[in-house]
Chains A and B, each alone.
Chain A
Amino acid sequence: MPSVCFYFQVHQPYRLRNVAPFSEAEGSDLFCDTANSGILWKVARKCYLPTNNKILELIKRFDGRFKVSYSLSGVAIEQMKQFAPDVLDSFVKLADTGCVEFLAETYYHSLAALRDRDEFADQVKAHGELISEYFGQSPRVFRNTELIYNDQIGELVDDLGFRAIMAEGADDILGERTPNFVYKHPHRELRILPKNYKLSDDIAFRFSNQGWEEHPLTTGKFARWLHAHSGNAQVINLFMDYETFGEHQWEATGIFSFLDALPHDVLTAPDWQFQMPSEVVRDVQPAGELSYWRTTSWADQERDITAWLGNRMQREAFDALHELGGHLRRRNNPAALSLWRKLQTSDHFYYMCTKWFADGDVHAYFSPYEGPYDAFINFMNALDEIRQQILSTSARLQGVHS
């Protein structure tokens, strides 16, 4: 009985204020409350609130047969709590239906898995506690930042006790196989749910593209594409940013009507169902082992990590950030640690990407900066600021002791 498994990513970084010498400091905090609250309100109005309403309505309409999963980063939840508690409440309402699963990820939506396994484990633990606090669930399925995944990360995640992980269904990884099955880590019991990027991106990226030969995408057509896999699929994993609904695809494109009509059209085929990730891995046996011999992600054509760590600025910033981590953790200063961890959020590195800069594309769309160079400069200035704070604290402590 094949399933459709929806997973939506919900994340908002703490955007930095203009951290710079010679400028008026806006207080000790490094982040721009105005920008962060403004963006959250905008996305809440256009996406989070209306889409949550729609999902809740669909769950009720189909009496529990429509199910979805979310991953909410810790920093997104923090900001909702601070700036838009009604959004957080609407997610709690979804959790109460029993038809919504919340996944585990790093609290700070960070790249720690690639550098610092202790830090990674700490952030995963902190996130799990947050999810448990708000949604009453202990996540069993993990998704790493931007679906960044390889075999080593799989071992880390397995060590932390998770049953399964989401990953990109990259062509070179799958080879002859299709993404429409549950796979298994080559050396561990960890299950892998590969994203069907074609069908996912039909909704997330191509839905409103008038140059696309399939435009306009109707639910009938999309359901036919799903049903065409009958007999040769365990699960179709449709993974996407939640902002697909109302923000990337504006309401006027008909994206909400699409969402509204899709469950019905999927369920017209009697053997098809919606399942949450934990149900999928509970119900089906893995079709085989799948080795992620290279690091994949769900970004760009390359499905690699060059959007975050592809150029020398990104690598230098990443190195400098993690170098500071040792000093910070030794000092055990919770305020400075929290600042440092917010700088680990992958978005800060994404803003420094020069890969597509010449084409002025999607990277520019998401960036609060004029360009990647400004992003790098501001980030390094923020790191300096934290370094100064640590130094001044040490100096004060030395003063006390002497």
Chain B
Amino acid sequence: MSILIAILTLGGLTFLLALMLVIANRKLYVYEDPRIDEVEDMLPHANCGACGYPGCRPFAEALVSGDVLPGKCTVSSEEGREAIAHYLGVSVGAEEKIVARLACAGGTNVAKNRAQYEGLGTCRAASLISGGGKGCFWGCLGHGDCEVVCDFDAITMNQHSLPVVDEALCTACGDCVEVCPKDLFSLQPVNHRLWVACKNLEAGDGVLEDCEVACTACAKCAMDAPGNLITMMHNLPVVDYSENHQTQVPIQRCPTGAIVWLDESGEVVKGKESKKIVRKGERRIGYT
């Protein structure tokens, strides 16, 4: 008897509620453009946010409403972007490739540690303890948080514990920018080839004690640069990329090679007068 009551009560209840929901669903139906789903399927589902939208779905919505062009998606392949452009009847839209760049060149062969850090092997943990063991307070700690956080395997740590960005794989999602406790990464258009690979805010040759490739704030690059291309700010050269920056003149007299030219082939070109770094091993504590 109680089984019957249970079945009937719950059956009746669920039927009533289901009926209510069916009616509500009809009355409150929200029209969504079916193309949004189609376009979302064509996107890479990386949800990386490099396009400036929170994820692939909001980007698909913006694409369908015509606010952006498919070229904004840096993760899709060329064919993928073209397929979306063809589907929506718009042009692909050329976007200049943006990549993550590291403003530090202080690998273990040139930069000294002042203390041996033996805690949890992440930059975030290390930086919590008086900024990490590195002599240069601003430099890369080399525990590779950026390598771990990169979803596209674009960052690898080289033999000197310095991250190297593979520009072909980098989608400029900005995860490394966020994770670096020293704020060394920034997103730069790939044609910004004139690059200051240092964040040390101190001036004078004293900084070389900690890192052989640090900027000593000698300002030779700023003097040599045409026009107002480079200004010195907080003991660091700042490149004004709104000026004509396709020149290798400023790097030539840099004594340490802190300002460099990043070649299209991925090679780092240093100035003629820059000190050559020949050491392959680690630069040890107390050893200068």
A, B: real partners: no
